[in-house]
Structure 1
Amino acid sequence: MLKFLISGFEPFGGDTVNPTAALMQALEHEAVERTVIKTLLLPVHFDECADLLIAEMKAFQPDVVIACGLAKGRTAITPERIAINVKDIPSGSYADNQGRRPVDEPITAGSPDGLFSTLPIRAMVNDMVAAGIPAAVSNTAGTYICNNTMYRVLDYIRIEQLPVQAGFVHFPASTEMAAMAPSVPSLPLSMMLDALHSMIQTVISESKKIEG
């Protein structure tokens, strides 16, 4: 039985909803066979987001960490390939929810320039597409909170040499969000939840292949 730690984020950037927060609420009330699932809602604050997720990793000791975030404007569910060691808010972009706007700052001085997801991202995408869910591998997690969280978690696992699979998945805007901004690409929350279940099952299946 695998232990999954799955996180989402509060609303940010002027939006009043974040679909990943709703996904965490939905998972709280569901049982997934052959798993123990713990969910966590994170603040959109540089560094604190990762501090809280790493603290929960220490307490829960998961086998798998799937951090989830919103990428408004994307048309598919996108597991991220890599996180980079920089936090940077370009001029004109929104600050974090504490008003912080770092520019060209390393996330962790002395750590690698980039760290790759250890989730089976290609298999996750293939399984979602086979189920009729728009999905693609993404090669950039940006330089905002999502990248910050992914990088810190992977770096913590690297430093501590933990047998933990981890990575980040971006979700598009939800239909609820698109109702307030019709030009924004969106997916129904129910499909996003199906995608999350699919990714969990993919990790389980790929783990069995390694064990067997």
Structure 2
Amino acid sequence: MKFLISGFEPFGGDTVNPTGALMEALAYEVIEGAVIKTVLLPVNFDECADMLIAEMQAFQPDVVIACGLAKGRTAITPERIAINVKDIPPGSYADNQGQRPVDELIAAGSPDGLFSTLPIRKMVNEMMAAGIPATISNTAGTYICNNTMYRVLDYIRLQQLPVQAGFVHFPASTEMAVQAPSIPSLPLPVMLDALRSMIRTVMSETETNK
């Protein structure tokens, strides 16, 4: 199976983003049965999704797993749903180009919400069984991560592609917690183990459902 997996550059004043480091690590991974391509996305509304969709068109993946940082969360959280809005509330970070959309649709005429097509319950169960903190999230927010998830799912819907796709949020890394000791964090090797687990779970579920 062909997996396209994305992470993001740093944003919001941070100098690192663990999902970017995960993409670097995954580039050297060998997982039997999986062909993995990684891409690092900019934290810019629309540009991020445009880039990921262009990679989809070139690579023709079976599965897309977009990854992002949710600093403050205590577990790895596959997202259940993306909503058709981009909105940055007062006091929150603009994107890396300074954009601050308010109450804007991501795609006019498209559904209010689109659900992940990844086996998120099984993914969480497998991570938990391996001792990795994980839970399903029911909100991807209204920032870049939600924007990316929604655009990818909407593209798949419109093109009627046989592609599974979704989004996974990761906590801060231990490296980030050194600078801010009060934030929840996980070591990068644990996050990499989680990604390996999710890839294997998708392959297992796909084979079971054939």
TM-score (norm 2): 1.00
Task: Tell me, in whole angstroms, the C-alpha distance in 1 between the residues paired with 2:13 and 2:78.
Answer: 24
Q: 2:66 aligns to what?
A: 67
Q: 1:193 aligns to what?
A: 192
Secondary structure in structure 2 of the residue aligned to 1:21: helix
Moved segments of 4+, more than 4 Å:
none
Percent identity (aligned): 82
Deviation at 1:29, TM superposition (A): 1.2
Structure 2 unaligned spans of 5+ = none
Following superposition of structure 1 onto structure 2, how do residues 81-160 of structure 1 map, counting pairs within 5 Å?
81-160=80-159
Q: 1:36 aligns to what?
A: 35
Q: 1:57 aligns to what?
A: 56
Task: Tell me, in whole angstroms, the C-alpha distance in 2 between the residues paired with 1:31 and 1:131.
Answer: 20
Secondary structure in structure 2 of the residue aligned to 1:196: helix
Deviations 1:13-32 (A, max 9, x none): 00000000000000111111
Deviations 1:132-157 (A, max 9, x none): 00000000000000000000000000
Letter in 1 for 2:40: L
Deviations 1:46-104 (A, max 9, x none): 00000000000000000000000000000000000000000000000000000000000
Secondary structure in structure 2 of the residue aligned to 1:99: coil
TM-score (norm 1): 0.99
Deviations 1:100-130 (A, max 9, x none): 0000000001100000000000000000000
The root-mean-square deviation of aligned C-alpha atoms, in Å, is 0.3
Task: Tell me, in whole angstroms, the C-alpha distance in 1 between the residues paired with 2:33 and 2:177.
Answer: 35
Letter in 1 for 2:31: V
Following superposition of structure 1 onto structure 2, how do residues 156-195 of structure 1 map, counting pairs within 5 Å?
156-195=155-194
Task: Tell me, in whole angstroms, the C-alpha distance in 2 between the residues paired with 1:26 and 1:148.
Answer: 25
Structure 1 unaligned spans of 5+ = none
Letter in 2 for 1:48: E
Task: Tell me, in whole angstroms, the C-alpha distance in 2 between the residues paired with 1:8 and 1:23.
Answer: 7
